[in-house]
Structure 1
Amino acid sequence: MSKYLVNKFLYTVDRDPDLVQRYRDDPAGTVAWWETEKANEILNCVTQEKSTWLAFEDEERDALVAQDHVTLFELGAHPFLTLTLFIAMFEHDHEPLGYVKAYAERMAHISLPYPDIAT
């Protein structure tokens, strides 16, 4: 798994309110667009330098499209990145802290040692 690329997706989408809404409304289209247009940009680079080799593995792409934070965590995505993005996308559909509680409940079956989240 490219934990770097998945975490980069979560990080960059979370920092743009328009992308947050786009990912909420059209996850498949947003993931495909981001992988094609943004995945190979150098993160936080002022110039438009790009690499050419980064792409999601099928399992990563499927979890991102499904907006499945449990699978993303099991694959090694950083839980703070999924939590902050998914709160931005779904918290307003729940009572206060409702989404955070639902997020935690879906993760309750995971026990130590947690997957390695180092990139």
Structure 2
Amino acid sequence: MSKYLLDKFLYTVDRDPELVKAYKEDPAALVARWEADHMTRLTGVDADRTTWLAFTERERTALIEHDHVTLFELGAHPFLTLTLWIGLFEQDYDEPLAMQREYAARLAHFSLPYPDIST
């Protein structure tokens, strides 16, 4: 498991409107594409490519299912999931902040100390 890798996925996808669209339309395909094309480039420098990183099956499933609760349990940073989820789902709700309220409600069962979100 790599919290860094989860956070890198969330950060990278959130900052590219085409990736956000692809992630919403076909999350399995985007996760597979990201693993093949983006995951090996940790810093953007070809010399820094790596082949040993991979999502665990639980991480991959949570990403594919847009399961922010499991991602939080795995240590993904909640601000990264929240900002991406806003881009993915906010327009699907009729009331202001409805998506954010649902996001928070699904995490309400957590109490301090929260899962470690440091990388």
Shorter-chain TM-score range: over 0.9
Percent of matched pairs sharing the same residue: 62
The equivalences for 1:18-97 within 5 A come to 18-43=18-43, 45=44, 47-49=45-47, 50-94=49-93, 95-97=95-97
Q: How many residues align?
A: 117
1:3, 1:42 → 2: CA distance? 13
Moved over 6 A (4+): none
- Once the two structures are TM-superposed, the CA of residue 36 in structure 1 deviates from its matched residue by 1.0
Q: Describe the SS at the equivalent of 1:82.
A: helix
Letter in 2 for 1:56: F
1:40, 1:96 → 2: CA distance? 38
1:66, 1:111 → 2: CA distance? 24
2:79, 2:31 → 1: CA distance? 19
Gaps of 5+ in 1: none
Give the TM-score normalised by the residue count of structure 2: 0.95
Letter in 1 for 2:53: L
Gaps of 5+ in 2: none
Q: Describe the SS at the equivalent of 2:46.
A: coil
- Once the two structures are TM-superposed, the CA of residue 105 in structure 1 deviates from its matched residue by 0.6
Letter in 2 for 1:48: D
- Once the two structures are TM-superposed, the CA of residue 116 in structure 1 deviates from its matched residue by 0.2
- Once the two structures are TM-superposed, the CA of residue 48 in structure 1 deviates from its matched residue by 2.8
The CA deviation string for residues 41-64 of structure 1, in whole angstroms up to 9 with x for no partner, is 023x3x333111111011100100
Letter in 2 for 1:114: Y
Structure 2 counterpart of 1:14: 14
- CA RMSD after TM alignment: 0.9
2:24, 2:115 → 1: CA distance? 26
